[in-house]
Structure 1
Amino acid sequence: MGTSFNEQFDQHGAWRREFALRLKLLSEWLKDHELLDSAVEERLRRLETQMRSDKVMVAFVAEFSRGKSELINAIFFAGYKRRIMPASAGRTTMCPTELGYDSEVPPCLRLLPIETRLQPQALMEWRMVPEKWVRVDLDVNDSAQLAQAFEKVAEVVHVTKDEARALGFWHDDTPEDNPMLNAEGLVEVPRWRHALINIAHPLLKQGLVILDTPGLNAIGAEPELTVNLIPQAHAVVFILAADTGVTKSDLAIWREHLIAESEETDSRLVVLNKIDTMWDSLSSSAQVQAQIERQRATSAEILGLPVEQVIPVSAQKGLVAKVSDDAALLQASQLPVLERALAQGVMGQRQKILRAAVSGNIVDLRTEAARALNVRRRDLADQLGELRGLRGKNSSVIKHMRGRIEQEQEEFDVSGAKIHAVRSVHLRLLREVFTLLGTKTLKTEMAGLTDALRQPGIKLGVKKAYTQTFERLHAGLRKAQTTSAEIQSMLTGTFKQLNAEYGFSLQAPKEPDLERFSRDLELVERSHTQYLGMGNALRLAQPEFADRLVRALSTRLRVIYESALGEVELWNKSAAAQLDAQLRERRRNFVRRIEAIERIQEAASGLDDRIAEIEAQETALDQLDAKLAELTAHLIATPALASNEPALQKRA
């Protein structure tokens, strides 16, 4: 029957834990054998951080009353044997809700008051100010208390039209989308802007993050959802009602917030929920199924998706079936079909991406460590050649040999000044790259965009202001890549020269690929440009709203630029670590060679003893090399989960 999403996630978690353990063993082994230079240590640290902090975000998006919260209950929380997320009739999730796990925070629900929308700070900035959130402690062992606490995400307040307008829930230019006024002439709006739920649910502990979003009006009023959170989700589950299919407001959410031109749709799953409303005692099961399939095909055609990505489900019956252990009802609900699609699609793709990143890093790490072993091996070979050449030679020849080694050492010490000069030029060029990718540059661009958006009569020029900003950002990344190429060329030439003059075996590390950060920048640009083109010009004419969107953009760009800067820093460390390691090994080599000559001068048997020692050291190096290959092979060749391999190959 395949693997459910929950089981697949359990296996993914087990793989990550095993990988972290193997990584720790490799780190200790490298340290014990003095192979842990700063570049290798940095790669290990990054891999460990990546494994520990890897998150898989699944965003559930729907217009109101499509059964979204019930679907989350059925897939993730049926083990509590009751509803956890509020899922009664009508509007339930009024504010975007993130469910995740942070071991440093006690189990709690944190709620950000809706009034924070009147201030310019982006959501990411509010996360850094925990005291501004209302906190409700949770008892994870008491499902009734959890369910009661989670009902808070459905709370509303009634405000005047002016207040609703300021908060982004009332728009004079689109009166047909405005909520109804109550008898007192007030507008109903969510009480909370954002909710964070931190509980030690098994799946959340392993890195799953669930994003539960409210309907169209609420998504549109919170730009950070549209331009940051939803685009960064590894999968988006879009829920429709089976009896109505794709309505006008469903189509608006899909086109405005979930799909961009030329964007791949593989990470989008559409759920045709509430198929139980079509179960009809007056129709045969074949007739009912034919009706569901017609609705499925029509929905797929309207949304421009393959029909396989539209999955009919009854979340409510699936939850009931899991709670009551009713296998037949579970099968009829078709919930297992959706779980398999999530397992093979979301988890399968996520694992492929993570394994590819891990594999590349481990190969680079092995190359760095193997290079250090090769330097030692070459030095031993040189020593062995020298010592074998001394067999049968008299003391004056041995004394002459010592003088030659000391002269080599003096000449080598002079090379330090040349290497220092190389580093100075290297660092000067690197500073240009650091400036281009630095926080100051980004802040300047964001300040310029904010100023442009505050100009009078900007309404029609908003898109142009954004386009010009992104053009400059792309140009900056291209310049950083060009400068990196210059540095790489200089390093390659300098390393060749040092190898020729001093017998080093330096190799310029792989140049950082800044092109992928350009692609990330394109994705951000696409989501913002799309948002700008969706009738938001009037909103963007409001300085507060424009500021909030720029802050949301700044948050996303900062992540991209910090990652790019990290790649450049690692590249620099790899080059510097090679030089340091080879200088260190060469100095040790001189000391060992002089010690060997002294021992040979003191005792006739010293020469054969020293040759035997070096031969033993060569054997030990071969063993270290084999062990390095074995430890890293385990990390690279972690087998993919057998149950999903065919599905992954099919999708690929």
Structure 2
Amino acid sequence: MPNTKLCDQLGDFNAWRDRQLRLLKQLQPWFKQQGLYTLETRNAIEQAQRALRDKHMTVAVAGEFSRGKTELINALFFAHHGRRLLPADAGRTTMCPTEIFCDSSQPPYLRLLPIESRRNEYSLASLRDQPDQWIHADLDLDDPESLSRDLQKLTQSRPATRREAAELGLVVDTAPSDAGELNIPRWRFAQLNIRHPLLAQGLRILDTPGLNAIGSEPELTFEMLPSAHAVLFVLAADTGVTRSDLHVWQRFIQRPGHVGRRGLMVVLNKTDTLWDDLRSSRQIAESIVKQCREVAHTLGVNHDQVFAASAQKALLARVQNNAALEQRSGIASLERYLGEAMMANRLDIIRHEHTYRVQQALEALETLIRRRLERNGNQRRNLAALADQSDAAISRMLESAQYAQAHYQASVDAYKQSLSSFNEHGRTLLSALDVRTLDQTLDAIRASMTGAWTTHGLKEAMRALFKEINMRLEVAGKQAQQMRRLLRTVYRRFQSEHDFKLAMPAMISIVRHQVELGLLDQEAEIFRNSARTTLMEQHFVTKRYFRTIVSRSQGIFQMAYEEAKQWRETALLPLSIEVKEHRDALTRQMADLRHAADSRKTIQQRIEALQRDDTRLRTQMMSIGKVHALLLDPSATTPARVSGQN
């Protein structure tokens, strides 16, 4: 069994995740029982539950060929096998992107997607569900020799003419042999399902080959790498940052808008090539630190994101249980930081995008309960004062209450008009963000491109796509602005005229989605104008690329639509509840005054009922406070940042 810090960190995270799920499950029936299960609360809890049930975390390892990426994976995750699990011989090793995971419902296997599948326009996502397209091999983990032979398939290549490589959408710089042939990867993609305690807890590893494979797969470039919770960009100490390294970094790793990202680590691998018996340990360490600083400066990252390591020595040390060599290899600092970065990114997503919404819903409930307590207090004081009032005084108070009720009704009528206008703008907003109507435009763009899927055709299709997107976002932005203005107006009216003490709800903004789509347009522009794209004129390549960009655009639109839909449903909900409860309070006040005019005996009974209701409300408030504390859960705070060995 592997005994690493990563196991402990992932185990702690999953324990926290399970505690949060149990808490949310217990909350739902309690909210229903207490009459507090509002639409806002229900939506927030259900979203948080969905986020928490997704236990997958992905580590992507990227870089040019021959940087030791696969050996780094062996050292970090598979040293407990007592040997080199994944093939990592000198020179080119992994020839295709490889996804490593654990699916306990299936026996261990290796699935290989032939490179010939690039002849069609099917995406990797759609091919995952077509088993007949893959070469499947069951793995015997108890037979090292058999396992080694099967995994060697990841390194396989085959001869091809330059024309065939171009037909497959590959750009290969390898010099052709005398026969005019060159080597291309045999496989387009590989999936390795293997038993491992870290993988069983939801960890997934994405091993990528060099520039050509990354740039040739739009899904890898635009979906799989960007969505990883941690990315290890691997360099070699004996070469430093080469031109091709910098190209991979700028094109595929340090994407626009992701500068300073915590889950991004640079690994200066093969530091053992700098170990020199003729130099002191201090001189070697200073040389490594200097090179790390130069790498950080060249790539524009923080120095503590650059880790010097020797994956080969780390693997050897762990296989031989050599603590001194393991420490010298630098693997421990990288492993510790990697675990913290993954957990921090995952926690940020869950807390800021999901648990935070539950907290907001709880705060809205606390405000609601406080207002009920205030109303109860006012009613008790008013009732106590009635005991000493004459019938004439009570009659005057009844007239005053009737006037207040009529004035309040005028505000309610104005509120209903604002609500109607708010919903009308909301319908226009949702229509602009509706993926279904966007798809109709996309179908028209595809139809216009039939038979013209060249680089020029791709540019025209992209231009039409983003023109439509920007037009829709402009409409959505204007509608959101009108809705925000209406919301502020109606809230302020009730705050000023009727002493409502409601905080303004969170305001909708589509700016984040506009930025995401803008960055996607930038990435697409870079790809469209690259020399690589010019060489990939085959229609299936450009169509597959277009489909990938469309898929990401649809995903962003769908997210914006869901957020807008939920905001439209819940933004006025606290005010609607307060409007109803204030109206009910006025009605009760009128009833109390009429009863007091008939008999003073009912006053004390009503005061006692309000006191009992106070006790119930205060108990609710205390319970919600405890839930707040459990959601924050101090034991799950992000670990303190640690520096690398550098």
Sort the TM-score into its range (normalised by shorter chain): 0.7 to 0.9
**In the alignment, which of 215, 223, 227 is matched to residue 218 of structure 2?**
223
Instruction: Please give the residue correspondences for 1:590-605 in structure 2 after superposition, counting only pairs within 5 Å.
Output: none
Counterpart Cα distance in 2 of 1:552 and 1:466: 12
CA drift at 1:26:
3.6
Closer, same or farther: CA 31–292 of 1 in aligned 2, 3 Å: same
| 1:271 to 2:267 alignment | yes
**Equivalent residue, structure 1, for 2:166:** 165
Deviation per residue, 1:578-612 (Å, 9 max, x gap): 36644765687689789989998999754323311
**In the alignment, which of 184, 203, 210 is matched to residue 205 of structure 2?**
210
Residue 118 of structure 1 aligns with an amino acid whose one-letter code is: R
Q: Is the 8 A contact 1:257 1:531 kept in 2?
A: no
Counterpart Cα distance in 2 of 1:6 and 1:588: 56
Deviation per residue, 1:271-313 (Å, 9 max, x gap): 2222334444455545554554565455455545555443221
Q: The residue matched to 1:195 in structure 2 has which SS?
A: strand
Counterpart Cα distance in 2 of 1:594 and 1:536: 79
Q: Is the 8 A contact 2:221 2:252 kept in 1?
A: yes
Counterpart Cα distance in 2 of 1:607 and 1:92: 87
Counterpart Cα distance in 2 of 1:437 and 1:246: 43
Which range is displaced more, 346-355 or 329-338? 346-355
Instruction: Please give the residue correspondences for 1:595-634 in structure 2 after superposition, counting only pairs within 5 Å.
Output: 606-634=602-630
Closer, same or farther: CA 99–369 of 1 in aligned 2, 3 Å: farther
Q: Is the 8 A contact 1:94 1:156 kept in 2?
A: yes
| 1:257 to 2:272 alignment | no
Which range is displaced more, 498-507 or 312-321? 498-507
Q: The residue matched to 1:536 in structure 2 has which SS?
A: helix
| 1:20 to 2:16 alignment | no
**In the alignment, which of 507, 513, 522 is matched to residue 511 of structure 1?**
507
CA drift at 1:551:
0.9
Q: Is the 8 A contact 2:171 2:535 kept in 1?
A: no
CA drift at 1:645:
5.0
**Equivalent residue, structure 2, for 1:117:** 118
CA drift at 1:468:
6.3
| 1:533 to 2:529 alignment | yes
CA drift at 1:530:
2.5
Closer, same or farther: CA 550–462 of 1 in aligned 2, 3 Å: closer
Closer, same or farther: CA 512–198 of 1 in aligned 2, 3 Å: farther
CA drift at 1:259:
3.4
Residue 310 of structure 1 aligns with an amino acid whose one-letter code is: V
Counterpart Cα distance in 2 of 1:273 and 1:285: 18
CA drift at 1:223:
2.0
CA drift at 1:135:
4.8
Closer, same or farther: CA 532–331 of 1 in aligned 2, 3 Å: same
Closer, same or farther: CA 370–540 of 1 in aligned 2, 3 Å: farther
**Equivalent residue, structure 1, for 2:87:** 86
Q: The residue matched to 1:328 in structure 2 has which SS?
A: helix
Closer, same or farther: CA 200–439 of 1 in aligned 2, 3 Å: farther
**Equivalent residue, structure 1, for 2:561:** 565
Q: The residue matched to 1:168 in structure 2 has which SS?
A: coil
| 1:48 to 2:49 alignment | yes
**Equivalent residue, structure 2, for 1:174:** none
**Equivalent residue, structure 2, for 1:321:** 317
Instruction: Please give the residue correspondences for 1:482-493 in structure 2 after superposition, counting only pairs within 5 Å.
Output: 482-493=478-489
CA drift at 1:258:
2.5
Q: Is the 8 A contact 1:85 1:150 kept in 2?
A: yes
Instruction: Please give the residue correspondences for 1:53-68 in structure 2 after superposition, counting only pairs within 5 Å.
Output: 53=54, 55-68=56-69
Q: Is the 8 A contact 2:387 2:600 kept in 1?
A: no
**Equivalent residue, structure 2, for 1:96:** 97
CA drift at 1:324:
2.6
Counterpart Cα distance in 1 of 2:425 and 2:134: 45
**Equivalent residue, structure 2, for 1:245:** 240
Q: Is the 8 A contact 1:460 1:537 kept in 2?
A: no
Closer, same or farther: CA 410–126 of 1 in aligned 2, 3 Å: farther
| 1:337 to 2:333 alignment | yes
Closer, same or farther: CA 263–397 of 1 in aligned 2, 3 Å: closer
Residue 53 of structure 2 aligns with an amino acid whose one-letter code is: R
Q: Is the 8 A contact 1:169 1:178 kept in 2?
A: no
Closer, same or farther: CA 455–302 of 1 in aligned 2, 3 Å: farther
Could you tell me which runs of 5 or more consecutive residues in structure 2 were left unpaired when the two chains were aligned: none
CA drift at 1:35:
1.0
Which range is displaced more, 162-171 or 582-591? 582-591
**Equivalent residue, structure 2, for 1:372:** 368
Q: The residue matched to 1:509 in structure 2 has which SS?
A: coil
Q: Is the 8 A contact 2:232 2:264 kept in 1?
A: yes
Closer, same or farther: CA 330–428 of 1 in aligned 2, 3 Å: same
CA drift at 1:486:
0.5
CA drift at 1:327:
0.6
Q: The residue matched to 1:95 in structure 2 has which SS?
A: coil
Counterpart Cα distance in 2 of 1:541 and 1:165: 8
Deviation per residue, 1:190-235 (Å, 9 max, x gap): 3432233455644334443322111222122212222332233343
Instruction: Please give the residue correspondences for 1:551-590 in structure 2 after superposition, counting only pairs within 5 Å.
Output: 551-575=547-571, 577-578=573-574, 581-582=577-578, 585=581
**In the alignment, which of 539, 550, 553 is matched to residue 543 of structure 1?**
539
TM-score normalised to structure 1 length = 0.82
Residue 614 of structure 1 aligns with an amino acid whose one-letter code is: L
Residue 83 of structure 1 aligns with an amino acid whose one-letter code is: R
CA drift at 1:505:
6.5
Which range is displaced more, 15-24 or 281-290? 281-290
Deviation per residue, 1:499-530 (Å, 9 max, x gap): 78888776652211221222222332232222
Residue 47 of structure 2 aligns with an amino acid whose one-letter code is: R
Paired positions, count: 640
Counterpart Cα distance in 2 of 1:6 and 1:57: 15
TM-score normalised to structure 2 length = 0.83
Counterpart Cα distance in 2 of 1:80 and 1:569: 50
CA drift at 1:83:
3.2
Q: Percent identity?
A: 32
